[in-house]
A and B are shown apart, each in its own frame.
Chain A
Amino acid sequence: MITFDQVSHTYPESAQPTLDRVSFSLSEGDLCLVVGPTGSGKSTLLGAINGLVPHFTGGRFSGQIRVDGRDTTKHRPRELADLVGYVGQDPVRGFVTDTVEDEIAYGMEQLGTAPMVMRKRVEETLDLLGIAELRRRPLTELSGGQQQRVAIAAVLAAQPKVLVLDEPTSALDATAAADVLSAITTLVHEVGLTVVLAEHRLERVMQAADSMLWLPGDGSVRHGGVAELLAQANITPPLAALAQVLGWPTVPLSVREARRRATGIQIRPRPETPTSHTELAVGATDLQVRFGEIKAVHGVSLELFAGTITAVLGRNGAGKSSLLWALQGALTCGGEIEVAGQDPRRLNANQARRLVALVPQTAADLLYLPTVEAECGQADVESEASPGTTAALLTRLGMQLPPDRDPRDLSEGQRLALVLAIQLAAGPKVLLLDEPTRGLDYQAKAELHQILDQFASNGTAILISTHDVEFAAATSQNLLLMADGEIVAAGPTADLLTSSAAYSPQMSKVFSPVKVLTVADVAAGLWDPRP
């Protein structure tokens, strides 16, 4: 179905080829996963399938790609639209029309599908993705998971033979991600589509995949079976890490398989971390945030302690972001907030950031200067810190960023580190992070984990809102579960995550009922038969 033959591509402004003499072929009806660290060329590879690379992006391209016999160098993406359906990273940005039904029909309109056929296909597609009740809703009012499903429906309606998806779940909460991924696997099994899927959170899709493309980051691509490639790849979803720890030759692809293999392995439960309630850093009682008619946060009380990391989990739109912004003092809201004896709502921006720092969801919003060095210098001025403070912080975070680099050219992980350094330059007692793991690969997440641990051990109280259960399990000591603007559960991470079905990390599923959260717990708890 898809054949790459000696494909190389170099972007106009770069010296290194992103793809270097790549050859592989995918057969019809396959679900193929594309994995690799950020910046390894996953998006380039996906874009090449429908010709966006090089027709749209430019750059030097050589080799040949054939999709169902059509050569992508000779056909523009629009001429491949009937063959390849492409859903980009952020579905909202690719929407052309304003309502669900129109958006689904759009692709077919371009292909000149007869109106009667179009009418029928829209109905079928609405049912296939389970979005029939949304048909007349404006696209902007939908939740992230719904938008993602509409975007998939919109390309499916044109009945392509190949579906290309670039990280379809990166912005979604666990449940919505599961919805979208199960819709995709249904499509593979029942419609016979060939699906090429780039995904950071492998733990949910690897069991359904037929093959895997691994991009190590040097421009090469390796194609092979999922289990065999995961055993050698530097991509480590929890189950792959578990296989390494336990010395299994291949990686179990599902929790079920791992459970079967793990029978008989004795694991000590994770040691109870003594809840050393140190100094109270943030106390909030009865917080109420309203936007018009909507109660975003409703009667939330919480306490954050110095030196502990707390995670907030919850659906998209559960009020996590509003809670963070309220704690920073940026929102007009009801209730009491006390940080080091002060109310951040009553402080001006400069004073507030010395108490509470916030890293917003789109961290790039904070950056506006042309180089990393200039951003660091500006941050020193803003925090009235001695020159070099931010640059030193950046080094302490383990990031050696070239000072003359444009912040917009950095990878997601590097940019996050830069923003963290900028915000921490003011020396705040409390650090709030809104969805920091979005777009980060496993390695970048591990680095972020280390950074956060470091600051927590220096006495900073940290609150992270996230969709990533595995990250929350690895990083946090305390956990808040939010739903519909309220906190529905709060307590130590180990207790809450092991007792929840929707929010339990894979290790706890594998070794249930033994209380373990991460592969590190398993490694520490391994029953050593030697005395």
Chain B
Amino acid sequence: MVLERTQTLKSLHPLAWWAWAIGIGIAVNGTTNPLLLALIALALVWVVLLRRSSAPWARSVRAYLILGGFVIAMRVFFQIVIGAKTGDTILFALPEIPLPDWAAGIRLGGPITAEALAYTINDALRLAVLLLCLGAANALANPRQALRSMPAALYEASAAVVVALSVAPQLIESGQRVLKARRTRGTNTKGLRSLASVILPVMADSIERSMSLAAGMEARGFARTRGLPVRGSLTLMISSSMLATLGAFVLLSTDFRLLAVGCLVIGLVGAGFGLRLAGKRLAVTRYRQQPWRVRDTVVSGFGLLAAVVVLTIGGLNPNDLSASLLQWLDPQALFPSTDPLTWPQLSVPMLLVVGLVAAPLAVTGKDRIDVTESVRNDTMVRSLRPKAEILVTS
């Protein structure tokens, strides 16, 4: 049983955690350096362990760690069995199974080289840490809470997502219930028929469920509108998002940087404005919406900065840099060579990135308030009371 307790001092806006995690995700995507990736993963886990709440979704990070491990194991397994062979440092050899000519390019078994293995592990580690970023955001911020902070125009869409999120557990529950009930009728049916005997009641159940949910939402005023949609908001949104897409395209594929950035900015601002306009149609208000505070900006800034550092360094041309700068920034260390095998190097900016990942710890401590010392300070009495924390009673 979870007792009511006074609000914690450490809560951060859910979107701030997501922005931070997405920034780190972008940074992770820009490197295959296993040392850097491992350090980022460590920092992520550290932040999660210290800053997660006691809610059920906060326990999800373990699942993501296991998933990451699984990803690496699978990649290594497939590399060993059917991977392409590069490099000469043979670690061990599996018996090779000859394949017919039409399967040229695929090898089953054969020698396993250190180079190919190192490449696979680096690449898989990148994916695993990317997953861990998602897990960290999930553990630190309630995904539903994050959806509640969406602009009003996206309200209906986010409500649909929230409802969809609850479908899977419900399906599992009713599937198990029907299966259990089904067994009391014996198990003479086989094949398709026995499948139908479970699926049909579950389907009927879930249709009934969604009908009553829809009735409940309708009865409680879902999609009540305040007025007709503001004229032109749709046109504005569509044209600005087209402009933003064009901007992004130009930015990535050509050298017209200024034009591209201009298009992108105007497009994004226009889209935001359109969303606001469209949102006015709905009368919806939000209950206890968490305010966006300075430290929310700071934490999301950390994530974005990490992305910017990695992308900037990765985009540098080593030939343009002076020798000392090259040694200090070392763009190539982000993608250490695996053929020939080299030991990955850490550079100063990389340590900065790891620092940025862990930085939320510094700003998400307890709120500092200006206190006036009480002459008869009795704060101690309260701290002696048993804590109204989580009591899990069986």
List the interface of chain A (C-beta within 8 A of B): 50, 52, 55-56, 76-79, 81-82, 84, 86, 88-90, 93-98, 101-102, 105-115, 118-119, 122, 132-133, 135-138, 154-155, 158, 293-295, 325, 328, 330, 348-350, 353, 357-358, 360, 362, 364-368, 378-379, 381-383, 408, 422-423, 426
Q: Which residues of B have CB within 8 Å of A110? A: 220-224, 283-284
- Identify which of B177, B183, B215, B392 contacts A362 (C-beta below 8 A): B177
B4 touches A135 (CB 8 A): yes
List the interface of chain B (C-beta within 8 A of A): 2-4, 56, 144, 159, 162-163, 166, 177-178, 180-189, 196-198, 200-201, 204-205, 208-209, 212-224, 226, 283-289, 392, 394
- C-alpha gap A169/B151 in the complex (Å): 39
Given contacts A98-B166, A118-B287, contact A353 B185 (CB under 8 A): yes
**3 nearest A-B residue pairs (beta carbon):** A94-B216, A81-B221, A112-B283
Q: Which residues of A have CB within 8 Å of B204? A: 364, 408
| Least CB separation from B392: chain A residue | A293
- C-alpha gap A137/B220 in the complex (Å): 21
Q: Which residues of A have CB within 8 Å of B162? A: 96-97
Q: Which residues of B have CB within 8 Å of A353? A: 184-186
A88 touches B221 (CB 8 A): no
Q: A360-B184, A365-B177 are in contact. List 20 more A-B contacts (CB 8 A).
A: A52-B215, A56-B215, A86-B220, A88-B219, A93-B213, A94-B215, A96-B213, A109-B286, A110-B222, A112-B226, A115-B288, A133-B3, A293-B394, A295-B394, A330-B183, A366-B184, A368-B197, A368-B198, A383-B186, A423-B185
- C-alpha gap A364/B181 in the complex (Å): 9
- C-alpha gap A423/B220 in the complex (Å): 41
B224 touches A350 (CB 8 A): no
- C-alpha gap A426/B392 in the complex (Å): 44
- C-alpha gap A136/B205 in the complex (Å): 28
B200 touches A136 (CB 8 A): no
Given contacts A108-B287, A115-B289, A366-B181, contact A426 B186 (CB under 8 A): yes
- C-alpha gap A82/B220 in the complex (Å): 8
- C-alpha gap A4/B226 in the complex (Å): 28
| Least CB separation from B187: chain A residue | A349
- C-alpha gap A154/B219 in the complex (Å): 12
| Least CB separation from A122: chain B residue | B287
- Identify which of B3, B212, B222, B285 contacts A115 (C-beta below 8 A): B285
| Least CB separation from B194: chain A residue | A368
Chain A nearest CB, measured from B9 CB (Å): 17
A365 touches B2 (CB 8 A): no
Q: Which residues of B have CB within 8 Å of A82? A: 221
A109 touches B3 (CB 8 A): no
Q: Which residues of A have CB within 8 Å of B220? A: 78, 81, 86, 96, 106-107, 110, 154-155, 158
A93 touches B289 (CB 8 A): no
Q: Which residues of B have CB within 8 Å of A408? A: 204
A105 touches B288 (CB 8 A): yes
B287 touches A109 (CB 8 A): yes
Q: Which residues of B have CB within 8 Å of A364? A: 201, 204
Chain B nearest CB, measured from A72 CB (Å): 12
- C-alpha gap A109/B152 in the complex (Å): 11
| Least CB separation from B184: chain A residue | A358
Q: List 18 A-B contacts (CB under 8 A).
A: A52-B218, A94-B216, A97-B162, A107-B220, A107-B221, A110-B223, A111-B221, A111-B283, A115-B286, A118-B287, A132-B4, A154-B220, A155-B220, A328-B184, A348-B187, A349-B183, A358-B184, A426-B186
